Amino acid sequence: MAEHAAFTNDAVIFGILAAMLGAVFWTSASAHPAWRRFYSIFPPLLLCYFLPSLLNAFGLIDPEASQLYFVASRYLLPAALVILTMAADIPSVMRLGPKAIVMFLTGTVGVIIGGPLALLAASAVAPDLVGVTGPDAVWRGMSTVAGSWIGGAANQTAMREIFEVGPETFSIWVAVDIIVANIWMAILLAMAANQSAVDRWLKADVSALEEVKARAEAYETQTARIPQLKDLIFIFAIGFGAVGLSHFGADILAPFFEKNFPEADQLSIHSKFFWLVVIATTLGVGLSFTKVRTLQGAGAMKVGSVFVYILVATVGMQMDIKAIAHTPAFFLIGGLWISIHAALLIVVARLIRAPAFFLAVGSQANIGGAASAPVVAAAFHPSLAPVGVLLAVLGYILGTFGAWVSGQAMRLIVGQ
């Protein structure tokens, strides 16, 4: 937390983020050879993510006091989900085959076994570190990361309660969760920027994926037109009208399930955010089968992408890379954990010849959830964003059970 932040007004911070996004897009469109070389290595989306993190790292803002991420995740994210999904060719997306599910479940298994393996390695190197007992035991804190990396915040909180994690340990592992996961997301975004090279290395069969992209681009060309004011108003009305309906439904469903099915909290159905994502996605899927989809030609996906980039900037401003210096051993454990997850994904991807898209989105649907899986998916192609959303919802369902299994395995390793 920045005790003496230079900027505390969210309007000012939002203006800075907007200026950063503008600077990235201006320089990435430059014909100057230096900028072209730079962006051939670092994709624009990656810069939109990391530049805001510098505001936190240098103490210019206090992300905990800002409401920008909350607003972006509760308003712009569901609007983006609706707009991107309604403009997508859902039947083509569903014909992508089972590889998306296989890679997602591989990512889940990678998190479940990666934690115990990382803890086992740490116990061999630093037995005193992992030998702590009671609420501050390392394995307890790691169980909350498993909940977050398979599902989301609701699953993470469930693990905190189930394994009675101490507040100090919980806060440390929250930092590990955020920073390691965000660094991994940066790697996935870089993978998206170089997907052709990665696909060649994986010897991937990209035919089905390229067909979806081609159909989306052909449809956009077929329906393309100069957007009129009414088109943009329609996109705005549909997107945020659906956001209102999603919040309305979430406000009813979450308390209903909490009251009538208290034992089902492990499925995340007590979380309003869970229902917000589910309802927004469902509305978007339904609209994709109507004439509303023709708004893609008026720039619907571009509007949705603007919301995604704003969300990315607000996510980036929450990361404080300086936290690594405070508890380096725990970050090393987290780094080893995510490496095991990544290695398993790569092995399976090569075995089944899965494209880089399935590897990246299958991973991010676990590690990042609904807030970032569609971002990674859209980095490959905007028409593919629904795949990230659907897999992330599946992660919410599996999150608590998978994390509980991982936690019990870690408990056995340390003998507690």
Short-list 301, 255, 289, 292, CA closest to 274:
255
Helices (H), 89-227: 90-94, 99-125, 127-130, 138-150, 153-162, 167-193, 195-202, 207-223
Residue-level pLDDT at 153: 64
Residue-level pLDDT at 323: 67
Query: Percent of the chain scored above 90 by pLDDT?
Result: 25
Residue-level pLDDT at 56: 86
Residue-level pLDDT at 220: 67
| pLDDT tens-digit map of 17-44 | 999 999 999 998 898 999 988 887 777 8
More confident position, 56 or 88: 56
| pLDDT tens-digit map of 270-327 | 778 878 878 888 898 889 888 888 887 888 878 988 887 898 788 788 777 776 676 7
5: pLDDT confidence band, cut at 50, 70 and 90? confident
Average pLDDT rounded to a whole number, residues 244-266: 88
State the residue for tokens 């409401």.
67
Question: Is the per-residue pLDDT at 2 higher than 70?
Answer: no
- Specify the DSSP element, H or E, that contains 242: helix 229-260
Residue-level pLDDT at 255: 93
Average pLDDT for the chain: 84
Alpha carbon distance 129, 36 (integer Å) = 46
Most confident by average pLDDT, 13-22, 183-192, 207-216, 369-378: 13-22
Least confident of 7-11, 84-88, 346-350, 396-400: 396-400
184 Cβ neighbours under 8 A, 6+ residues apart: 338, 342, 363, 367
The answer to whether the beta carbons of residues 158 and 400 sit under 8 Å apart is yes
Cα 371–chain centre separation: 5
Average pLDDT rounded to a whole number, residues 70-83: 88
Domain coordinates in residue numbering, the chain: 88-305+320-414
182: pLDDT confidence band, cut at 50, 70 and 90? confident
94: pLDDT confidence band, cut at 50, 70 and 90? low
Question: Is the per-residue pLDDT at 266 higher than 60?
Answer: no
Average pLDDT rounded to a whole number, residues 260-272: 74
More confident position, 46 or 294: 294
Question: Is the per-residue pLDDT at 267 higher than 90?
Answer: no
Residue-level pLDDT at 195: 86
Rounded to the nearest 10 degrees, the angle between the axes of helix 138-150 and helix 99-125 is 170
| pLDDT tens-digit map of 102-126 | 999 999 999 999 999 999 998 888 8
| pLDDT tens-digit map of 343-375 | 999 999 999 998 899 899 899 988 887 667 888
